[in-house]
Chain A
Amino acid sequence: MPLRDSFQTGITVAAVLITVLIFAGCRKEFPYFRGNGLRPIYLSHDSLAVVYNTAPRPITNTGPIYLKDTLLFLTEKLQGIHVFNVMDSTNPVPLTFIRIPAVTDFTISGSFMYADSGPHLVKINISDIYQVQVVDVKKNVFMPVLFPSNYFGIFECVDPDKGFVIGWDTAYIIVRCTISQ
């Protein structure tokens, strides 16, 4: 009796061991963290450096500003540049909005505006302020930000193939490690 028991125990133990070993061998990932954190918001790479005029729109989050003759340019962060006629400073008039995806900054020289669109540097002919034209793009001039700012919690790593990061969302995320085979 005792011998059969120990034999059965041995088989069971062996079976368990084999199962564990099989799973350990097949396993390529295991969860490292699950919980609330930040997840990147992507803008597709195709959208970058595509610049065009739209109707004037509300100002909600200004960035760098520039005064050229009677025109005032204001950055709407990540969206584009507002253009106002300020010849009469008591009555500024919105003229147009220059859509520049992922823009954060710009400057003007003569008839040209130089702006960023994500990682790219874009040169735009603004001689016709209502119909601006991109004349040159220098790609990957600016290093993308890969981390959420002023944040020291958990976040999902940026996957550059998914696009350019323009912000972060709170989300339930799963951060995984992988074991290389």
Chain B
Amino acid sequence: MLRIVSTLLFLCLVYSCAKESVDNFNGTNGKNNSNGKSGSITRFTTYNDYLYVLDHNKIKTYYTGDGNLTLTSTVTTDYGLETITIYDGTIYIGSRTGLYILDITNPSYPVLLSKTERSDIFGRCDPVVIKGHYAYSTVKTIVNVCGTLNTISALITYDVSNKHQPQEIDVKTMEMPNGLGIYKNLLFVCDEGDDAIHVFDISNNIPVPFVKVSITNPRDVICHNGKMIVSTPDGFTFYDIRDPSNIRMIGKIQT
């Protein structure tokens, strides 16, 4: 029954605003591409000589090493692919219905290893960041659309030591979570619902609330070199995060 309803929910939302208002992010650790780092909400990523892009229900791989853009693989999945990140030679994709893990030992041909599914979460904007054997993802409820049916907004922790069988080990309810980032043993999670960055201690893998930084409508975050950049709808703010007990704003652009 839950499956039927969640399928209906999914069908109702299959053309939902993936392009218009989904912020697609990508974790700090997953996007170290020589000299660049993206946010956690993105459908595009590169890895060595390959470009990977998401399109609704397709993962497309392009070889770029010879200066051209040559499509080498298309993997078709369920609809609702939202974010992509690469960590330790593995693709992690956040989608409306769960987390996909793909192997890129052969980078031109990603191979699906596993897909988690939750019948009670039908989310939007599902960025994923990874540290070691643990993946962290935020999901947002969709309200007032085909009913809500036990959906929640949350930060979910997965044990991904076995990539063929990721295990959900923790769920923390949040207001309206957005992008996230990792710096050392800290997980930073944007929560647009309560206008704050929630900082969690992940020394023991499961997130433990640590501090909170107030900021209006945080969307995504990049952590790099002791600094955190938080994007908002009309600007961005820099924070010094070297001393986690004393996170302070150091610069900002706001229209």
Cβ contact of A105, chosen from B13, B42, B68, cutoff 8 A: B42
Closest approach, in angstroms, between the C-beta of A88 and any C-beta of chain B?
8
- Interface core residue of B12, B42, B232 (most chain A CB under 10 Å): B42
Q: Does A171 contact B (CB under 8 A)?
A: no
Stretch at the interface among A2-10, A13-21, A46-54, A61-69: A61-69
User: Among the listed stretches A22-30, A31-39, A138-146, A172-180, which one makes contact with chain B, having 4 or more residues with CB under 8 Å of it?
Assistant: A138-146
Interchain CA distance A171-B232 in the complex, whole Å: 31
Does A110 belong to the interface (CB within 8 Å)? yes
Which residues of the partner chain B approach A108 to less than 8 Å between Cβ atoms?
33, 36, 38, 46
- B92 proximal to A (CB < 8 A): no
Nearest CB in chain A: distance from B199 CB, A: 19
Instruction: Name the residue of chain A whose CB is nearest to the CB of B39.
Output: A65
Q: Does A114 contact B (CB under 8 A)?
A: yes
B169 interface residue per 8 A CB criterion: no
Are A59 and B255 interface neighbours, CB within 8 A? yes
Contact B56–A143 (Cβ < 8 Å):
yes
CA–CA, A78 and B172, complex, Å? 33
Interface: A181 (CB within 8 A): no
Residues of B within 8 A of A (CB): 12-13, 15-21, 23-25, 33-39, 41-46, 51, 53, 55-56, 60, 62, 64, 68-69, 71, 142, 145, 219-220, 222, 224, 227, 229, 231-236, 238, 250-255
**A91: interface (CB < 8 Å):** yes
The chain B residue with its CB closest to the CB of A122 is: B69
- What are 23 A-B pairs with beta-carbon distances under 8 A? A58-B255, A59-B234, A59-B255, A60-B233, A62-B232, A67-B222, A69-B35, A77-B20, A90-B238, A105-B42, A107-B38, A108-B33, A108-B36, A109-B33, A109-B36, A109-B64, A115-B44, A121-B69, A123-B64, A136-B69, A143-B56, A149-B20, A150-B17
Q: Does A117 contact B (CB under 8 A)?
A: no
Given contacts A59-B254, A109-B51, 12 further A-B contacts (CB under 8 A): A64-B23, A65-B220, A65-B222, A68-B36, A105-B24, A106-B42, A107-B44, A114-B51, A116-B44, A123-B69, A138-B71, A142-B55
Contacts of A62 in B (CB 8 A): 219-220, 231-236
Enumerate chain A residues within 8 angstroms of B253, measured Cβ to Cβ.
59, 84, 92, 94
Enumerate chain A residues within 8 angstroms of B69, measured Cβ to Cβ. Answer: 121, 123, 136, 138
A-chain residues with CB within 8 Å of residue B238 when the two chains form the complex? 86, 89-90, 92
Q: Are A60 and B234 in contact (CB under 8 A)?
A: yes
Contacts of A114 in B (CB 8 A): 44, 46, 51, 53
Task: Tell me if A74 counts as interface (CB < 8 A to partner B).
Answer: yes
Measured CA separation A64–B219 after assembly (Å): 9
Instruction: Check B255–A60 contact: CB distance below 8 A.
Output: yes
The CA-CA distance from A116 to B54 in the complex, in Å, is: 11
A145 adjacent to B19 (CB under 8 Å): yes
Question: For the complex, what is the distance from the CA of A66 to the CA of B96, rounded to whole Å?
Answer: 23
Q: Is the CB of B250 within 8 A of A90?
A: yes
Contact of A150 (CB < 8 Å), options: B13, B39, B42, B51: B13
- Sorted from nearest, which 7 A-B pairs have the closest CB atoms? A149-B17, A147-B15, A107-B44, A109-B46, A58-B255, A68-B36, A89-B238
